[in-house]
Structures are given as C-alpha cells and as structure tokens.
Amino acid sequence: MTRNDEALHALILAGGRGARFWPLSRKARPKQCLDLDGQGSPLARTLQRLDGLIPPERIWVVTGRDMEAAVRAELPGLSPEHILVEPSGRNTAPCIAWGTQVIGRGAGDDAVVAVLPADHAIRDAPGFRALLASATDAARQTGAIVTLGIKADRPATGFGYLEQGAEMGEWGGRRFHLVQRFTEKPDRITAEALIATGRQLWNAGIFVYKVGAMEDALRAHLPATAQAMIELGRDPGRIADVWGRTDATSIDFGVMERLRHILTVEADVGWSDMGSWDEVGDQLPALPGGRGRARRIVSVDSEGCVVHALDKAVALVGLRDLVVVDTPDALLVMDRRRAQDLREVLRQLAASGEDGLT
C-alpha cells in the first residue's frame, strides 16, 4: 500500500449492544448481526454497501470480545486481522482512535477514513456511495472532519442534533455547511424548538476525515487517548496495555462537540438507525397479520404485528400492533408502542439471575 495516497478507508464500528432487539439480540449476538428480513445482517450490508467504492483491504472493523465470534461469522470476506477486538468496552472515542491509528500506520496521514456504524440501515446504497465520495473530496480538500447529517423531520429525543451554519462549498454537487452547534439528545421541548429552526440535521455517527485531522483533534481534546495511540504506534501488539489509558467516552462528546470546524452535508439516502422492533417493523417483508419472518404464519383477524419466528409456525388471532419474537430460549410478546420497556425486561431478567438470557 502506498503511503500518502489519500485513498478512502472504512472504519466500521460494530461494538454496539443493541438490546432493543431482545430476545433476538443478545450480548453475543448484537443487533448488527441479526438478519431481520432475510436479506442479511446490517453489518454484512454495511460492507456490501461499500462495494465498488472501498475494497476489502481498506475496510476495518472494531468490535467487542462478547460479540467477536458473531461479527467474524458475518464477514467471511474480510481478512481476520482487519477485525480489531477491543480489550474492553470504552465507548466510541478509543475505537475510532485505534482504528484511525491502524489505518494511518499503513496508509499515512493523508489517507481518508469513513467511520460507519454497523447497525444502521440505508436504503439507497448507490446514493450513499456517491455521498461518501463527495464527503471524501470535502475532507481531502478542506482538511476538516465531515459528518453526514440526516434531515431532522420530527422532534425525536433519541438523536444528537447538528445545526447547519455557513455554507463552505460544494463537492460532488452537494453543499457542505459548517456545524454551528451540537445538541446531544434533547428533551422534547428542546427538540421541538430545534425542528422549528429548519436548519437541523441528526447526527448519524458517520464521519469522514483525513487520518491527520482526527489525530490533531484527539491531541487537542483527548490528549490521553492521543498519547496512548502514539505509544501503540511504537509497538502495535500492545493495545491491551495502552487501552486502559484511553478516554472512555464517545467521539461525539469527547471530540465532535468541542471542535470548531466541522463540516456537514445532508444525507438523503433512506437512513434509519433501526432503533426498535417497532421502527424496523415497517421495513420488513409483509406476512399475514403484519410484517417479519416466520417459518409459517396463520393470521385470523390480526394486523400490524411484527413477527420473528424462524423455527416454528405462528398463529395470530385477533391481535393489533404486537411484537412477537420467538427464540429457542426466550419469547417476547409486546405492544409495539412499548418498545422502550424492553430495558425493564432485561433488568428483571438480570435481577433474577437469568443473565444468560440477556
């Protein structure tokens, strides 16, 4: 690999837990590894989506020990040493620092990195590739970190908001703006006020930057993490030794919110964060009584249900808007509107010593 070639690399973050898809999701089988619609897992599709833009030898994945086996199983086409396994979970900043360091070691400071969460869905893959190419150009030419923004169309409280400031130029026919302000997961009233401005994008956690730009940002705002990476540079096998000295924080809170010069571009590519059974439900294949996957399904006067039951026949009788998810050791039946209460289910299971089920 030539150094300083400005080539685009992918750094896929596949360490998320995704407990909101219990009982299908587990510690050892997180959301990004679940094939909800029979079309492949979000992780596998995150790689496929790069096809033609970034070859496998420029793709890296960071994940956690718990889920390493499941992640490797999803990525047969990736060289095993391209899967970086965190010694322990320390949030996204150390993962991005490590991945950036590894990519920079091979490709140099001018290489461009696209950080991609593995657990999102993006409907328009060609549009996404074109957008990523534009963002790469912007990152190369400006030296800034670019963050893709999703048009905020409702006062959601689960996302971070980016306020678009001055326009900084056009790349690939798309206008890039300065980020004026970050607002992490606002309350409902704040979210409504933000939406009213008409200048807000959601932070999708997709970043594009030159290796050197991220290294500078880390040095300025997370110096302990930057120092740990410098030590790692001298002895790449010592990740376990330096890991504990990194800052256990998110890249948003630790770096992005503190930078004054971040670019953003609106990503109109059918993005969804796949936040819950309820949200994903509408994207799944239709079946009698609702949507989802089942070996066999019979519905009598039922509708709006989200079903996942690969091993058995399911009969739905007189139901409206339920989630029904069957696995070999656990079964969930839930009102679709109560998706947020899955946390309480997991808490109760853990409290009753059923950790193995979580």
Which residues bind to its own copies, rule: CB under 8 A?
Answer: 22-23, 296, 298, 300-301, 309, 311-319, 322, 324, 326-335, 337-338, 341-342, 344-345, 348-349, 352, 354, 357
Distance CA 108, CA 106 (A): 6
Q: For residue 29, give the DSSP letter.
A: B
Nearer to its own copies, 65 or 338 (CB): 338
Nearer to its own copies, 153 or 329 (CB): 329
Q: Tell the smallest beta-carbon distance from residue 273 to its own copies (Å).
A: 21
Burial call 283-318: b when 16+ CB within 10 Å, e when fewer: ebeebbbbbbbbeebebeebeebbbbbeeeebebee
**Residue 200 · residue 238 · CB < 8 Å:** no
Q: Tell the smallest beta-carbon distance from residue 353 to its own copies (Å).
A: 10
Nearer to its own copies, 80 or 353 (CB): 353
Rounded (5°) CA angle 207-208-212: 115
Q: Tell the smallest beta-carbon distance from residue 34 to its own copies (Å).
A: 17
Nearer to its own copies, 239 or 339 (CB): 339
Nearer to its own copies, 191 or 334 (CB): 334
**The one-letter amino acid at 312:** K
**Residue 293 · residue 309 · CB < 8 Å:** yes
| Total number of residues shown for the chain | 358
**Residue 255 · residue 209 · CB < 8 Å:** no
Q: Tell the smallest beta-carbon distance from residue 159 to its own copies (Å).
A: 24
Q: Tell the smallest beta-carbon distance from residue 188 to its own copies (Å).
A: 21
Nearer to its own copies, 146 or 306 (CB): 306
Q: Tell the smallest beta-carbon distance from residue 25 to its own copies (Å).
A: 13
Nearer to its own copies, 241 or 301 (CB): 301
209: part of which helix (H) or strand (E)? strand 200-210
**Residue 97 · residue 113 · CB < 8 Å:** no
Q: Tell the smallest beta-carbon distance from residue 39 to its own copies (Å).
A: 23
Nearer to its own copies, 121 or 287 (CB): 287
Q: Tell the smallest beta-carbon distance from residue 43 to its own copies (Å).
A: 25
Dig out the tokens for 151 from the structure: 């048009």
Handedness of CA 103, 150, 270, 64 (dihedral sign): positive
**Residue 342 · residue 20 · CB < 8 Å:** yes
321's CB contacts (< 8 A; 6+ apart) are 303, 304, 305, 335, 336, 337
Dig out the tokens for 327 from the structure: 């696995």
